[in-house]
């Protein structure tokens, strides 16, 4: 038997294996990872702001708006009034109510916030809040707190609550224990009547009851870092009641779109913040 042909093939196989191994172990060129940084919005540079209306959306003129937020391209709204309190999902462009849950007559609804697939709704003087499934509005449980409930928002970790005073409370969303409190001060003076809240670009936006201003608040220490003057934004709509005041702030963080409304206003306004000169 002639072994030479096999002996001739073996060196070739060793050569191929060596080349193959060399290719597999060859170092790859370094990969440059580009991290896209979110640019700071221009309005944060200015302490005094006003607005330009970008677009108008329909709003139920019987909805006594106590809390408003944007969720999955829809409005979530908490309405107030004994016998008229509800939490609802509303189609953005048409104002059509998609889902609605009415509360018992002895509850007066207040602020609402969404966190980790749940909606949290306050009530005014009952010292009771409600937790719902964010998609279905299915009730899950009640929670208790001391004092009145006014506005509610979240920084993604805590629930942030106002109660009509100058104090904002940060609550654990599981135990509802108070983690900390801050006193809201404007030029060193405490500000009361803080109502509807919205956490926007690292700041807390707050309606001041019976005012056409929104305060921008530093969540670390409660300092008012800016003021948004919304004077006249709903002037074209007849004001049927002095209590139908500005109260409703929603923010689409992905699109950076800001919306405001009021109690029983017929419209929700998308606005652009501009420097007040």
For 104, 114, 162, the CA distances from 170, given in Å and listed in that order, are 27, 15, 9
**Can you tell me the mean pLDDT for 99-126?**
97
Count of Cβ atoms closer than 10 Å to residue 93 Cβ: 10
Could you tell me the domains of the chain? 42-275 (2.120.10.30)
**Predicted local confidence at residue 36, as pLDDT:** 57
Mean pLDDT of the chain: 90
Q: Which two tokens stand for residue 159?
A: 């629930």
**Can you tell me the mean pLDDT for 103-115?**
97
- Those residues whose C-beta lies under 8 Å from the C-beta of residue 199, and which sit 6 or more positions away, are 153, 154, 155, 156, 160, 205, 219, 251
Beta-strand ranges (E) seen in 163-212 are 167-171, 178-183, 185-186, 189-190, 194-200, 203-208
Q: Name residue 53's beta-bridge partners.
A: 271
**Predicted local confidence at residue 239, as pLDDT:** 80
User: pLDDT tens digit string along 2-39?
Assistant: 443 444 333 433 333 333 434 444 444 454 444 457 89
């Amino acid at each position: 038997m002639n072994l030479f042909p096999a002996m001739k093939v073996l060196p070739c196989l060793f050569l191929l294996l060596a080349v193959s191994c060399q290719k597999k172990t060859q170092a790859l060129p370094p990969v440059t990872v580009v991290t896209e940084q979110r640019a700071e919005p221009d309005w944060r540079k200015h302490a005094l702001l006003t607005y330009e209306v970008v677009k108008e959306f329909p709003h139920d003129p019987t909805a006594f708006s106590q809390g408003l937020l944007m969720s999955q391209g829809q409005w979530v709204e908490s309405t107030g009034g004994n016998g008229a309190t509800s939490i609802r999902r509303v189609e953005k462009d048409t104002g059509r109510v998609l889902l609605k849950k009415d509360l018992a007559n002895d509850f007066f609804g207040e602020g609402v916030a969404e966190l980790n697939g749940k909606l949290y709704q306050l009530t005014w003087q009952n010292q009771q809040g409600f937790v719902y499934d964010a998609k279905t509005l299915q009730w899950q449980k009640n929670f208790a707190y001391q004092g009145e409930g006014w506005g509610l928002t979240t920084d993604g970790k805590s629930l942030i609550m106002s109660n009509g005073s100058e104090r904002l409370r940060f609550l654990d969303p599981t135990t509802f224990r108070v983690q900390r409190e801050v006193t809201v001060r404007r030029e060193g003076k405490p500000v009361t009547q803080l109502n509807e809240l919205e956490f926007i670009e690292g700041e807390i936006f707050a309606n001041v009851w019976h005012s056409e201003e929104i305060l921008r608040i530093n969540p670390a220490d409660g300092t008012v870092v800016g003021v948004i003057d919304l004077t006249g934004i709903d002037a074209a709509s007849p004001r049927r009641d002095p209590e139908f005041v500005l109260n409703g702030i929603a923010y689409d963080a992905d699109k950076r779109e800001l919306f405001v409304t009021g109690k029983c206003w017929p419209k929700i306004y998308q606005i652009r913040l501009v420097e007040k000169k």
